[in-house]
Structure 1
Amino acid sequence: MLSITVYSDFVCPFCMLGEQVLTDAIGNKDISINWRAFELRPYPVATLRPEDSYLPTIWQQSVYPLAERLGVSMQLPTISPQPRTDKAFELLVMAQDKGLDHEYSMRVLRAFFQENLDIGDPEVLVTLAADVGLNAKDARQALENGIYTDRHREALRHAREDMAITSVPTIVVGKQVFRGTPSISQLREAIDLLEA
């Protein structure tokens, strides 16, 4: 099966919006979406706070207009400071092993941007993992014991060094790399080339 890779951070609203454009571009074609980690603010970098001016401004100027255009319901989460995403990405590794990385990633994005859930909380993450068919007990043990920590670190190294990712979403369709949210027409052209 053909696949498209999305490098994302679960606290980036444009990753959720980019997925909608990508899904629209794929349509009924047999193409999978594979999700990869890129933490925008890895520890010890401070995460953003919704009460500061930056996030509300970006949401008013860019996120809400694009979300409305795409028909995606989302709100600026109130969790402050924004959660770190390393633990969510550790469970992404688990989801990748089960072929559930798209379902899991979308569940985490919806939890944060539609349900205002703290995706830095391990118990929330275990519930979200179970929602998409992962074993809750295994997910909890994985987080408690750091089972996927090394693989997550390697995924971050790969994104930064091998792929030179600097922003999310970064969408890789064959040999074409889109930084940010491309138009549906750009994606359709790239998908046509991928299929060819």
Structure 2
Amino acid sequence: MTARIHVWSDYVCPFSLIADEVIGRAIAERPDVEVVHHAHELRPRPAPTLRPEDPHVPDTWQRAVYPLARRHDVPLRLPSTSPQPNTELAFRGALYAADHGRAEVYHRRVRVAFFREDLDIGDPVVLTRLAGEAGLDPTAYAAALDDPAYAERHREALAESVRLDITVTPTIVIGTRRIEGVATEDVIHQALHDA
């Protein structure tokens, strides 16, 4: 029987990248565990997104993001795209990737592109290239970004996030255990055992 780890996150949340890598290590020897990604946009349109040149952003990275990333041995850097991209299109693309069995590789490719390669993941051209690198058909992927059905599914995913009172990214749910923020590998192992 497959165990599931549900993760609500945003592609522009550095803590979500750290959590993804920790979860990946925790389940590396567990082919019976599936990670299911759920959208939780931190700043959905029309809310303004962060600007890396605003003093509080690099300050937060110095105080919280970089120390946690070092603790978990996750390389990343503050992206320079300003303002930071809205992630609605990336999440629509994630739904397309899930429909074609490429959710996990797409999810990782988009995160790495933003936090390690400093790419603008709000740009449809960049997203389409990343989708191709994740094994998806670029033409069909680009069409999916404009497909009203994927837009509606994304709205439904955000509504589910609200219904479940998701307010922190990442939020990890394993069985009946809900973890807000980055969990250690030991916590992941224990939650899977308990589930």
Q: Under a length normalisation based on structure 2, what TM-score does the superposition of the two structures give?
A: 0.95
Unaligned runs of 5+ in 1: none
Q: How does 1:15-164 map to 2 (within 5 A)?
A: 15-30=16-31, 31-161=33-163, 163-164=164-165
C-alpha distance after superposition, 1:88-133 (max 9, x if no partner): 0000111111222211111100000000000000011111111111
Query: 1:19: how far off?
Result: 1.0
Aligned residues of 2:6 and 2:174 also touching (Cα < 8 A): yes
Identify the residue that residue 15 of structure 2 maps to in structure 1.
14
Q: Which whole-Å CA distance do the structure 2 matches of 1:145 and 1:155 have between them? A: 16
2:192 is equivalent to residue 191 of structure 1: yes
Q: Rate the CA distance shift 1:145–1:187 in 2: closer, same or farther, 3 A.
A: closer
Identify the residue that residue 174 of structure 2 maps to in structure 1.
173
Q: Which whole-Å CA distance do the structure 2 matches of 1:174 and 1:103 have between them? A: 24
Identify the residue that residue 5 of structure 2 maps to in structure 1.
4
Q: Which whole-Å CA distance do the structure 1 matches of 2:131 and 2:176 have between them? A: 31
3-state DSSP of counterpart to 2:8: strand
Query: 1:145: how far off?
Result: 3.6
Query: 1:46: how far off?
Result: 0.7
Query: 1:42: how far off?
Result: 0.5
Q: Which whole-Å CA distance do the structure 2 matches of 1:147 and 1:160 have between them? A: 20
Aligned residues of 2:3 and 2:192 also touching (Cα < 8 A): no
Q: Which whole-Å CA distance do the structure 2 matches of 1:131 and 1:156 have between them? A: 27
3-state DSSP of counterpart to 2:146: helix
Q: Which whole-Å CA distance do the structure 2 matches of 1:100 and 1:178 have between them? A: 25
Query: 1:177: how far off?
Result: 0.8
Q: Under a length normalisation based on structure 1, what TM-score does the superposition of the two structures give?
A: 0.94
Aligned residues: 193
Query: 1:2: how far off?
Result: 1.7
Q: Which whole-Å CA distance do the structure 2 matches of 1:182 and 1:7 have between them? A: 13
Q: Which whole-Å CA distance do the structure 1 matches of 2:178 and 2:102 have between them? A: 23
Aligned residues of 1:26 and 1:191 also touching (Cα < 8 A): no
Q: Which whole-Å CA distance do the structure 1 matches of 2:121 and 2:166 have between them? A: 23
Where do 4+ consecutive residues of structure 1 move more than 6 Å?
Answer: none
3-state DSSP of counterpart to 1:148: helix
Unaligned runs of 5+ in 2: none
What's the Cα RMSD here? 1.1
Q: Which whole-Å CA distance do the structure 2 matches of 1:99 and 1:3 have between them? A: 16
Equivalent AA in structure 2 for residue 53 of structure 1: P
Aligned residues of 1:83 and 1:119 also touching (Cα < 8 A): yes
